[in-house]
Amino acid sequence: MNISNPYARTFLVGTVWFGLVVLRSLSREQDQAEGLAVIRTIVFVTAWLVTALLLGVAATRWENVRSWWGIGLGTIFGSLAVTLAMLVILERVYGVKGPPKFNTTNEMMIYLAGESAKWIKQDRDIDVNYSLESIQHVEEELGRISKEVNKTNPALGTFGIALGYGAYIGEVFRRDYGGEWAVDHPTGGPKSYPLTTRSNTVIFPVGWCWKRLINGDEDNVYHKAMMFADPETAKAKIEAPVEAR
């Protein structure tokens, strides 16, 4: 490759810059749905090509742009402009929107709970109502999805599924018991999304859902929810013979 060629330089610098952006994105990808990951990848690749081509044209006309500094700065600012323009076009033409912005963790979890309710409606044609019994539908969905999960190497997006359904379970309890969501917890760890109720009880419904996807039936989320809501009744139901349930 002749690195004195303006186009060679713009594509080389663009590869490094967008490579760093993609790596940064992948570090957060487990919290995102797979569909959003595909859209983001398409946007990044297209923005890289368009930015490199436009900057290459500019570098062939203006000598100041041909320097490594000029191409580097041009790549950074050009990529931002091109990416923003693409997102605007996608939203206006195809109705594709980026992830919403939230002021608090509570807002985010309320939104995700609503999204998981839509998933259940699409998959099972059931309108969930945030009752304790509706968590049975979440359990059934997780049971179905769990059969498709690679237990030793979960696919990107698996945590996003646990996050969405965990948000729904948590919101069931938050409506009855009050409380606040958080992102991290000293015991649960980073991104464990604990829900602390008004009585200072802490539960980890996102962790419940993650374990259900990875471990299978032994981590039934409906049983865990019942144990939290009404331990005595839950114990009787869980231990009762199948024909008596």
Question: In this predicted model, what pLDDT tens digit does every residue of 178-195 receive, in sequence order?
Answer: 999 999 999 999 999 999
Pairing between strand 180-181 and 202-203? unpaired
As a whole number, mean pLDDT of residues 139-146 equals 95
Domains, in order of start, for the chain: 6-94 (no CATH), 105-244 (1.20.120.1090)
pLDDT reported for residue 18: 73
As a whole number, mean pLDDT of residues 48-73 equals 75
Contact of 204 with 130, CB cutoff 8 Å: no
pLDDT band at 230 (very low <50, low <70, confident <90, very high): low
Helix (H) or strand (E) run with residue 3 in it: none
- Residue 114 C-alpha from the chain's centroid: 14
Residue 222's closest CA among 161, 174, 147, 168? Answer: 168
Hey, what are 134's tokens?
């509706």
Strand partners, 195: 181, 203
Contact of 191 with 31, CB cutoff 8 Å: yes
pLDDT reported for residue 90: 64
Instruction: State the CB neighbour count (10 A cutoff) for residue 73.
Output: 14
- Distance (Å, whole) CA 35 – CA 101: 18
